[in-house]
Amino acid sequence: MAFYGVHCRVAVCLAVLCLVFADDPMVEITLGKLVGKSEISWHPDVNINRTIHIYEGIPYAEPPVGDLRFRPPQTKEGWGGVYRATSIGSACIQALDSFDDITETQSEDCLFLNVYVPVTHSTDRLPVMVWIHGGAFILGSGSCYYNGTPLAAIGDVIVVTFNYRLGPLGFLSTGDEHAPGNYGLLDQMAAIQWVHDNIEAFGGDKDMVTLFGNSAGSLSCEYMLLSPLMQGLFHRVIMQSANVFINGYFSTDSRMQRKTAHGLGKLVRCERETTEELIKCLRALPAQDFKDLSGIETKETLEGIIGQALPYIPFPPVADGYFLTENPSRVVEKMTFINSGLDLMLGNLADEGMYFIAFATPDMWNEPKLTINKTVYETLMKILLGDARMQTNQAVKDAIKLMYINWDDANLEDLDYVDALSQQVGDDYFICPADASARAYAKAGFNVYKYHITHVPSKTLRPIKWMKATHEEDLPFVFGWHFVDGMNWTLPKEEVDMTLKVMKYWTNFAKTGDPNLPRDDATFSEEEAQHDWPLFKVPGLEYKEIALTMSNKRALKAKECAFWNNFIPNLMKNTDPGTKCFADEDEAGKYTKDSNIKQLP
């Protein structure tokens, strides 16, 4: 199971409604001159008519090919003339997925970024929002489906999106100097460094940079926040649906990394004695040989080869001693923040768990309604537990049932367990990790704003009708898909209004660190304007409910999060004496996932 980003199913990116080409814009950056294109952003539902300069397919590092495979990105050499940045670059090598497939052109030469600049007559520099796409570190791109034009036009910000290496090409590690891992995260750092070095040429403010991302992109944002190498390169962070307390997406076990790398070598006829010889052989393979090894299915194949269970993704980010020196969840627990005092916004959707139930029930994708009986629930609730150690701990499983089953009707033969399972999975994976993070960051002095999206959209990302407000359904609102021609994303007026509010919240936060400001238009009702989104603090625990009517609430799932963040870790410790609940994988390589206790401050 994995959490994925939304990906493009067409090779050509989508244009903004009423596209009009003007004179080609040009900027000069440190590497040379760039020529882009102009579009007029206009829509009858928005009182705006804005020219946007778009620069697509800008190379921000040298192609990571040949001897540069499994190495940090190298500084791009200048092109000595004019570079036409008018079409998107290739996506990074990745496998097709039955749930979120893409058909973009793929290449190992994929380190490209896109810049969306609203034309302004003001001399003030514009805030910058840098998007990190999701995809479980195995899928996705920064181009299609992440068209930054509506956000730039409506929010008056510069939007930057980019690709980074994925799967084994982005994250394979031998646990030593020959392939330390994290190349995809270092690509992200290089893209953010590029923004810092060049964004002023586009009219942007390098001292007002906001990182935002969803799912694995949200995790990446937090890795950037916790890395000692990122000081001064950004100033605000928006984390949408995922943070470092989720299990199975980080490794500190160098022995497991080495075994997995050698397992991959055996799979592609590169079986070698040493890691140095292994990496030399892997560098010589055609890039396309890695395409089918980047999917989630590779996990089971590698487990068969090495005879050991692996995390959800076999090539996760690692503690490489350089970009990340220890498990990021430990840093948050200890509150030893290097990049402290920043503005932070984070949140989730109300039915995140439905997304993962869909992976477990593919036979039901075309059904108008999903129902789960007691027998199926008993099976799925174990499979979908975030920490594999819980699957064999009967006390833990009994406690989870006690918390989530509707006991008033538990004796009914036709009792439907869908919502119970969805809330269990969503709380385990997302809601309660976010609660632990919000508490820690607020206690450490960050300005924290928390949200919870409860609105069930009328139009959904996938043709599965029963998924509700699930994982990734925030993307159409954040990026304003209603305002993009070609996406066929027409919404009713009340959801258009909600889209505008979400876009204003996100861009207001990027401008000021406060999602409420400025309020110089009629986007928000008089009542909403009187109920500003409050800071998240302990003990107040206030947050914004994002729905058709924006409301302030408090103590989101406080009981459930005390259960997951305090009670369950203590129960596991007391019912499994051989388990160190705070053990790193280096100390307990037999565990299949990082075991993170998320203590409430």
* Planar angle of CA 342, 434, 146, nearest 5 degrees: 75
Q: Determine which one of 352, 473, 495, 560 is catalytic.
A: 352
Q: Determine which one of 471, 472, 482, 595 is catalytic.
A: 471
Half-sphere exposure of 409 (CA within 13 A, CB side): 10
Report H helices in 361-492.
374-383, 394-404, 418-426, 432-443, 475-478
Judged by DSSP in three states, 238 sits in: strand
Active site residue 215: yes
How would you label 398-434 residue by residue, b for 16+ Cβ within 10 Å and e otherwise?
ebbbebbbeeeeeeeeebbbbebbbbbbbbbbbbbbb
Gyration radius from the chain CA atoms = 23
Q: Which amino acid is at 495?
A: E
Separation between Cα atoms, residue 57 and residue 160, nearest integer Å: 11
DSSP code, position 270:
-
Tokens 């990302």 locate to 461
Q: Determine which one of 90, 215, 227, 329 is catalytic.
A: 215
Number of residues in the chain: 601
DSSP 471-509: TTTTHHHHTTGGGBTTS-----HHHHHHHHHHHHHHHHH
Torsion of CA 384, 385, 386, 388, to 10 degrees: -110
Q: Which residues are catalytic?
A: 215, 352, 471
